Amino acid sequence: MALKKLWLPVLVFLISFAATYPGVSILIDETHYLRQAAAFANGQIMVEEFHPVTQQVTYSLPSEYPPGTSFVAGIFMLFGGWGLAFWMPALSLAAAIFFTALLLRVCKLNPHYALILLIFPPALVMARVVSSDVVSAGVVALGWFLFWKGSHQKEKTRVYLWFAAGFVAGASILFRESNALLFAPLFAGAMLRMNVSWTFLLYGGLLGVSLRLMMAQLIFGDPFFARDPHYGFSLSAIADNSFVYLTALTVFVPGGLFFGLLYKGERRTEVVTTIVVFTLFYLAYDFSGESSGFLKSLVLGPRFYIPLLPVLAFATAHTVPRVLNWLIQTDFVRKLLLQVSVVAISFGVAFGNVIFNHWVSVQREIQEAIIQHVPQNAAVVYNKKSTMKFMSELQGYPSTIHYEFLSDGHIEEIQNLNIFIVFVQRRDSEYWMQSAENENSFIERVQVETILDKTFLDNYRLRIYKTGEENS
């Protein structure tokens, strides 16, 4: 099957991405990845920080996330600084589509179903964010391609392909631990079916896992280190998440979950089990993104399913033609429908990048305003959760502290020091409005000079103050 039409939407995506290049961190989690990546690019594990009041120097880990994402982003930084790292998720999405298309072609399915990854709105958004979501999808797509390619080969070739598939599966937890769930049913099925060469899946998997263990030991001092997610799993979370998550998996991916469960192809038990287990895993995860507002929660929650997209594309490519061939029996109409879909997706991804850039432009304006009014290397007090993405050593602000970490003695002391207080306040949820009230109460305790008080898009308010003897 020709792949020429497949690459039109991908090319449009990459060109429109370049034209609307993010260049600024929009999430605090993204900042953690970027800071760790910058440390890796500089040959370091820790970052140097200065207490803005005492000027005490400390060294800390910039991130507790699995290091794979930052390691890959760090490679980009070697060639163009931290601003180049935003190409990583975009190219990861293109790679995920490429490997998914190869997977489908190996299984004699229409590779154009790989474009499912481009029509999932959270994937388009997160392709502009340095995080583990999209790069995990690329790793999963590669691993599934190697597995299915190997399953259709003779034993001698299968050994190498399945060893590689096992290695990719094991190493996938370098990016996110739950990625293992997308391989476990396939590998367990190969073992239970006693498929020839199944042991090489195990050998490769152990080698991949050992890579994660070694890096965890090197970075965190514990081979079994795992970040505390601060969220648990519960039955109540299933009820809370069901509407948004299941809507995302059936509307954002048209019929995706439904078609996935109707898969009747080779290794049906393993494929359907993968979809069910991974879907339930995050349904029960007690995170919804509601603190960021309703619209953002439509991305921040369903983004967990981005690594599942290659699997849904695989199952959908098998199921939909059965339905489509029954509904539309004319070959000309089916080909026309494919061409129209490819063109529509191309326009859609370009429009999506323009829309997302409009929101990112607000973050960019805030970043520029901070740089304009706060000199680099200044001592800064801020709200870490909302402001760190704009002010860290990446932007030239290594001396920062969260305002709630200041003791009463420190608060008294900053009256006589040149300290900048910077708060980026939001109004898109109750959480952020309460946070703003707490920050305002803090300001009332300190004698300050107002440097800037500016509102952006009605939802963001940048407040910059300065302390010092002249304000006493």
Asked if residue 10 belongs to a domain, the reply is no
Give the mean pLDDT per block of 10 residues along the chain (472 residues). 77 96 93 97 94 92 96 95 95 98 96 94 95 98 98 88 98 98 97 92 97 96 89 88 91 92 95 98 82 64 94 95 68 74 90 91 95 96 94 95 92 90 90 92 92 89 86 50
Asked if residue 154 belongs to a domain, the reply is yes
Of 13, 306, 312, 316, which Cα lies nearest the Cα of 136? 306
Q: What is the pLDDT of residue 415?
A: 86
Residues 245 and 139 in one domain: yes
Asked if residue 409 belongs to a domain, the reply is yes
Q: What is the pLDDT of residue 1?
A: 47
Residues 241 and 141 in one domain: yes
Asked if residue 44 belongs to a domain, the reply is no
Strands 419-426 and 379-382: parallel
| Contact present, 186 and 274 (Cβ < 8 Å) | yes
128 CB-near residues (< 8 Å, 6+ apart):
17, 22, 26, 86, 89, 90, 353, 356, 360
Is 420 exposed, middle or buried, given 0-12, 13-18 or 19+ CB atoms closer than 10 A?
A: buried
Asked if residue 9 belongs to a domain, the reply is no
Asked if residue 55 belongs to a domain, the reply is no
Strands 47-50 and 57-60: antiparallel
**Global confidence as pTM:** 0.93
Asked if residue 66 belongs to a domain, the reply is no
Single residue among 356, 389, 414 that ends a domain in this structure: 356
Q: What is the pLDDT of residue 292?
A: 56
Residues 115 and 153 in one domain: yes
Integer Cα distance of 248 and 124 in angstroms: 13
Q: What is the CATH number of the domain that holds 380?
A: 3.40.190
Residues 173 and 119 in one domain: yes
Integer Cα distance of 185 and 256 in angstroms: 19
What's the total number of domains in the chain?
2
| CA angle centred on 9, ends 7 and 11, rounded to 5° | 65
Domain containing 186 equals 95-356
Q: What is the pLDDT of residue 290?
A: 59
| Contact present, 215 and 209 (Cβ < 8 Å) | no
SS3 assignment, position 419: strand
Residues 201 and 236 in one domain: yes
